Every structure is written in structure tokens, then in C-alpha cells.
Amino acid sequence: MNEFALIETHFKRLSDRTGALLSAREPELPADLGIGDDCALMRVPDGMQLAVSSDTLVAGVHFPGQATPFDIGYKALAVNLSDLAAMGATPAWFSLCVTLQDQSEDWITAFCEGMAAVTQGSPIQLVGGDTTRGPLSICVQVMGVVPAGQALTRSGARPGDEVYVSGCVGEAALGLALALDPQAAQWQQALDHPHLLARLHRPTPRVALGQALRGIASACIDVSDGLLADLNHVLRASQVGAELELDLIPVAAGQDRMISITAGDDYELCFTAPAHARSQVIALAQSLSLPVSMIGCISKAQGLRDQDNQALTPAGYQHF
Amino acid sequence: MNEFALIETHFKRLSDRTGALLSAREPELPADLGIGDDCALMRVPDGMQLAVSSDTLVAGVHFPGQATPFDIGYKALAVNLSDLAAMGATPAWFSLCVTLQDQSEDWITAFCEGMAAVTQGSPIQLVGGDTTRGPLSICVQVMGVVPAGQALTRSGARPGDEVYVSGCVGEAALGLALALDPQAAQWQQALDHPHLLARLHRPTPRVALGQALRGIASACIDVSDGLLADLNHVLRASQVGAELELDLIPVAAGQDRMISITAGDDYELCFTAPAHARSQVIALAQSLSLPVSMIGCISKAQGLRDQDNQALTPAGYQHF
């Protein structure tokens, strides 16, 4: 089967807008021209900015051999949506460049089903890409829209702002330990193993949270490299520091606290907001049924410190 | 050196708009927010559509081992710009996802210089991407803008339209034969070897031609898979056929005609235009100092035939 037939058969369903959960207040943005020409053509509504991010997943580097094709498709799209979430953008379109080694049609079918599962929660339309032969890797580029001037950047944190994180960090790292080692000590513990493996393989992009934080958060990032490392990106971009209350950080049950706050792949949002906005943050967390924890505050003095004024090393996952 | 430092050092220059040849009638479109946040943010001017395309180049599949890092960088960006050219779009931004095996800093420097060389002719700004470790491959996504409704799609060819191709086809294939085999018979011929190798490694995206064809051409595609195969994409999308005068097709000196019209990688534009527009096509070709040849006409009867009514097989490069 040549690449055209493969795309026709398997990727077509991703080019329809199948999702049903699009928030009523956001515009639907079907492409004017989708897959099948030299370019896709889309309209960005007046008064909106285009938000773009891309990420590559390489076999053996970004997903363990145990990951199913469904997981790989799911995660490749989900981690990119997480970047849109971190900007407060509404997902609209994505491109998909897949390099396949010797994957079967069954593999490709399951891979596409994984991607389609993500689009159920966050409607987004496949508009292009390509399929090539080579070592397995997946490159996704997502495009979204955000009202002009309202995107959540990394550079807006101010002294006195409070630091928040959604959900719980360290679960994906615990899932990875389980996935990589069938003899791992964690298998013997009374942990929620399916949940931890799902956190690793099928992270939930916090799209609705990001959108709800527009006008409330002063800065935002998604936790891909590790909480400390990612928060440090915000601190550097904003030219500020932070003091964290380590005990307030929600970490995975059964996981070491320091590992939890330096391990990556959780795709929670870490954000800052002025102290006066705390009740708004609590209210929107409740409305989204998503735990959000206040874990520290922004300081004028640069660097990252704990509640005892001890310096914290912003260690994180080094991709390179 | 970690990925952040690599990007900082080598890719920063691609995120500036350094090109000087932007046509005065096209808008400059610097990104509102470039590299360094979760997403880049851009504005698409009112009345314009966003045009998006992406392509992956895999080592050993899309470029021969002899290709220099400069060539690889050049070609990865140029072939994507060629897709914008085929839509008549104005290049604006691009993302770059690079997977590196064990490439040196010198390699990366030369790779970026190759990309920068393309941006001299077609100003375009790097706005994001990532760097990962794995088997060498390069995924580029380009974004451009086109006045709404004026893009050159594949579906607009009508019976009676004339078929054109820019430049000369088959030169890249001849360059590939030279690059792959130091003993190739072509080395003994009085050919312009440097030109042929440049056609293979450093194709020229016909961006200005594509823009100039807006309002004139009825359909357009770039010749990446081979003239017959790509023209056939237009015919199928437009639900028409074509009759070609094979003798009118400009092919590489020293190359077989049938190889020339079925070989890919030339990145010329193949387009159709109504017969009454012929003088306009000739005039714009002259103004761009780019040869454009009328090679046949569109017929109501589907399929591809030569001047003797013999069916032509739309063979082309099969990526898969």
C-alpha cells in the first residue's frame, strides 16, 4: 500500500471534526482546505492570534518498547495539545509527519485510534503531514487560536504572585518505572497501577484549564521536563525567583518527593496568579473537577528556594 | 551541550527575519512571540488565509550520504517552501524538528547555514520546533499567507486550459545519478555537473512564480514526485484529463525524456491557465527571468495522453 492509500484509509477520520466536547463559547474552525493539496488553508478569526507548537516522539527515546501503537498515537497528540493548553489556546488543527519502519496496517489503525481518542476530548482537525519510511518517529505540529494579547506566556510572573500546579506530579515517572521493569519494587505495592501506566502513556492535556486561566494567570507552562525545571523556565523568562512549600506539592503516592518534582511527563500546568485571584483559581478548579494546589510564591530575588530558604536545583529531564 | 543551548546557539539566527528580498507588495509578518515559550504566537492579517505544509527528510531515504549538512538544511526548508509556492502563498514562518544521531556542532552550524541560505531568497522566520536524539531526520512545517480565496489549488483545471511547467525537469534525477555513482557514465559527458548537483541538493522553490500566478493560473502543483505523477494529481482533483506534447517538455540535457518526466525532486511548478491568459504567463515568466513552457492542454476526457493519443502512465517516485 503506498503512502497515498495509507493516508486515505487511516488518516481520513482524523481530518473530520469529530469531537463533541468543544466549549460552546469557542469558535469551531474547520479548515477551508484540508488534506490532499500542496498546503492546507485555514482562517484565523479576526482578533485572534495563531498559536503553534511542535514536538517529535522517537521510538526508544520518548516511549518505551512496551507502549502500544494506541498509546504512541495518543501521547504524540496529547503532549502537543499540552503546549496549546499552557498558552491558554483553543486547539484547532494539526499536522502529522510519521516515519514508519515496518509497522503493519494494524499498527497504523491502532495508532490512529489513539490519536482519535485525544480528539474526543479536545476537538482538533488533521490538516496535513506526510508518511515516510525510516526509523519510527512521529512529529506533530499543533495549531490553535487565542484572543490577541490573552495568551499565557512564561514571562508574566511578578513578585507576590502565587505559584500553582494542577493535578499531581511524579505519577508518570512511577508509571515509567513500572513499564520498564516487571520486577520493579513498585509492583509489590498497593498502588493504582493502571492509573500510573495511563498517566505515562495517555496523559491528559489540561486544555480547559488553560483556557479558563486566561485573564487570571500571569504566567503558565506545562510540566514536561519536571516541575522544578519547568517552573525555572517561567522564573527565568519573568526574571523573578520563587519560594516553594515542598509539603504543599501533590506528589504521587509511593513516589519519592524529590523524584516527583524533578521527573517529567506529567503534563500538568504550573502557573502563577496574583494573590487576589486565589478565589477565582479555586472556583475554576472546582468547576473543572481538577485539583489545583497553591505551592509557593514568586519572589523578587531570583532563584528557586524551599520554605527553609534552601536553594533548589532545577533539575529535570535532559532531552540531549 | 543540551538542547536548549544548541537551539540558543545555532537556531537563533533563523528566528530573525534576515531576508532582504521580500517583495514590497507583501506584508512583513514578524511573529508576535517566537522561540522560547510553549507556543509561538502569530497574527494572520485580515482577509488572508493561513497556508500550512510539512515534510520530513530522513537520512538514507531522502538524501544520499554524500549530501553535506549545508545541503540537508537547505533542501529541508526549500522543499517545504516549494509547497507554499505551489499554493501561491507568501512564506511567513516555519517550525523545525530535528532528530540528531551523533552530529557535531560543526554539522549543526553548517545545517543552519544551509537553512539561512534559503531564507535569503524567501524571507521566513523560525518560530519553534524541537531537537531530539535518534536516527537523523528533519521535519519542517512551513506557514504562509495567501489572500482569501486566491490560493492555487489542484482542483481548478478546466477543459481547454493550457498546461505549463517552469524550468526544466529531470535535472535533479541526473544529479542523483552523479551523486550516487562516481563511475556513472554521465561523469564522462560534457554536462554542467555542478549545476546538476545543485539542482539535486539545493532546489529553488519557485515562490515568486507561485505568487505571480495568483489570479492567472487555474491549478498548480510543485513537481516533487515527477511531472506526470504530479500533473496527474491535478487531473484527478480537477476531474479532467490532459494531452501533452512530449517534445515541448524541457528536459535535462543528457537525460532520457521518459526518465525526466517521471523523475521527481525538481521542485518546478506545473500549472494550468486558460488559453486567454497565455500572454500574461509569458510576460510574468519574462519578468521573473524564469523559463515557463506550455506543454499541453486540459481535456474533458480523463487520463493522460501524448500528442499521438497514446496513454501515458503517471509513474512517479513512490515514497512508500
> Is the minimum CB–CB distance between B45 and chain A shorter than 8 Å?
no
B5: CB partners within 8 A, 6+ apart = none
Q: What integer pLDDT is reported at residue A2 of this predicted model?
A: 55
Q: Grid coordinates in use for A315?
A: 533539575
- What is the pLDDT, as a whole number, of residue A317? 56
Residues 6+ apart with CB under 8 A from B308: none
Nearest to B88 by CA among B293, B276, B295, B273: B273
- Over range A256-272, report the average pLDDT: 94
Domain-embedded: residue B88: yes
Please name the residues in contact with A279: beta carbons below 8 A apart, sequence gap of 6 or more.
none
Supply the pLDDT for residue B319: 46
* Closest to A35 in 3D by CA, of B52, B140, B86: B52
- Residue A315 belongs to a domain: no
Q: Is B42's Cβ below 8 Å from some Cβ in A?
A: yes
A29: in domain: yes
Q: Are residues A188 and A226 in the same domain?
A: yes
The mean per-residue pLDDT over the stretch B147-156 comes to 97
Whole-model pTM: value is 0.92
Q: Which of A152-166, A198-212, B25-39 has the lowest mean pLDDT?
A: B25-39
Nearest partner of A146 among A40, A26, A42, judged by Cα: A26
- Rounded CA separation B54/B42 (Å): 18
CA dihedral B255, B259, B265, B269 (to 10 degrees): 90
Strands B162-166 and B303-306: unpaired
Asked whether residue B136 falls in the same domain as residue B166, the answer is no
Of A147, A171, A199, the last residue of a domain is: A147
Q: Between A58, A84, A93, which is nearest B132 by CB?
A: A58
pLDDT at residue A19 above 70? no
Are B39 and B131 members of one domain? yes
User: Within a domain: residue A115?
Assistant: yes
Only one residue has cell 530573525, namely: B16
State which H helix or E strand residue A281 sits in: helix A278-287
Nearest-CA neighbor of B151 among B220, B203, B101? B220
**pLDDT at residue B212 tops 50:** yes
Cell matching residue A141: 505540529
* CATH number of the CATH domain containing A39: 3.30.1330.10
- Both A81 and A186 in a single domain? no
pLDDT tens-digit profile of B30-74? 899 988 899 999 999 999 999 999 999 888 777 777 789 999 999
Report percent pLDDT > 70 for chain B: 92
**Residue B161 forms contact with A (CB below 8 Å):** no
Same-domain check for residues B49 and B97: yes
pLDDT of residue B119: 87
Q: Do the beta carbons of residue B288 and residue B217 sit within 8 Å?
A: no
Q: Which residue has better confidence, B123 or B158?
A: B158
Q: Is residue B153 part of a domain?
A: no
Share of chain A above pLDDT 70, in %: 92
B301, exposed or middle or buried, with CB in 10 Å at 0-12, 13-18, 19+?
exposed
Provide the 8-state DSSP code for A67. -
- B143:A52 CB<8 A: yes
pLDDT digits (tens, 9 = 90+) for A75-110: 999 999 999 999 999 999 999 999 988 888 899 889
**What pLDDT, in 10s, does the model give residues B225-266?**
999 999 999 999 999 999 999 999 999 988 889 999 999 899
Q: Above 70 in pLDDT, residue A246?
A: yes
**Who among A60, A139, A221 is closest to B38 (CB)?**
A221
Could you list the residue range(s) of the whole structural domain that residue A248 is in?
162-306
Average pLDDT, chain A: 89
Do A94 and A192 belong together in one domain?
A: no
Does pLDDT of B10 surpass 50?
yes
Q: Strand B137-147 to strand A125-133: parallel, antiparallel, or no bridges (unpaired)?
A: unpaired
B56 in the same domain as B170: no
pLDDT at B218: 98
Out of B42, B55, B129, the one facing A50 most closely (by C-beta) is B42
The DSSP-derived string for B277-306 is: GHHHHHHHHHHTT--EEEEEEEESS-EEEE
Over the stretch A125-151, which tens digit does the pLDDT of each residue have? Answer: 999 988 888 889 999 999 999 999 999
What is the predicted pLDDT for the residue at A21? Answer: 35
- In terms of pLDDT, which residue wins out, A47 or A9? A47
- The predicted model gives A150-157 an average pLDDT of 97
Mean pLDDT of the region B83-103? 94
Determine phi and psi for A60, rounding to 5 degrees. Answer: 85, -15
Residue B152 lies in a domain: no
Q: How far apart are CA A235 and CA A156, in angstroms?
A: 9
Please count the structural domains in chain A. Answer: 2
State whether B6 and A144 contact (CB < 8 Å). no
A218 shares a domain with A107: no
Q: Are the beta carbons of B127 and B119 closer than 8 angstroms? A: no
Strands A269-273 and B241-244: unpaired
A124 plus A173 within the same structural domain: no
Check whether A1 has a pLDDT greater than 70.
no
| pLDDT > 90: percent of chain A | 68
Contact B249, B260 (CB under 8 A): yes
Q: How would DSSP label each residue in B139-199?
A: EEEEEEEEETT----SS---TT-EEEEES-BSHHHHHHHHHH-TT-GGGGS---HHHHHHH
Instruction: Indicate if B115 and B183 belong to the same structural domain.
Output: no
How much is the pLDDT for B21? 35
Q: Give a yes or no: residue B317 inside a domain.
A: no
According to the model, what pLDDT value does residue A66 have? 76
- Domain with A249 in it: what CATH number? 3.90.650.10
ipTM given for this complex:
0.92
Residue after which a domain boundary falls, among B147, B174, B201 = B147
The answer to whether residues A198 and A236 belong to one domain is yes
Task: Among A116, A147, A178, identify where a domain stops.
Answer: A147
The confidence band for A12, taking pLDDT boundaries of 50, 70 and 90, is confident
Hey, are the CB atoms on B52 and A139 less than 8 Å from each other? no
Closest chain B C-alpha to A250 CA, distance in angstroms: 23
**pLDDT (0 to 100) of residue A103:** 87
Share of chain B above pLDDT 90, in %: 68
Whether B6 and A139 lie within 8 Å, measured CB to CB: no
Domain membership of residue A314 (yes or no) is no
Residues A266 and A302 in one domain: yes
B320/A contact by beta carbon, under 8 A: yes
> Rounded to an integer, what distance in angstroms lies between the CA atom of residue A210 and that of residue A283?
14
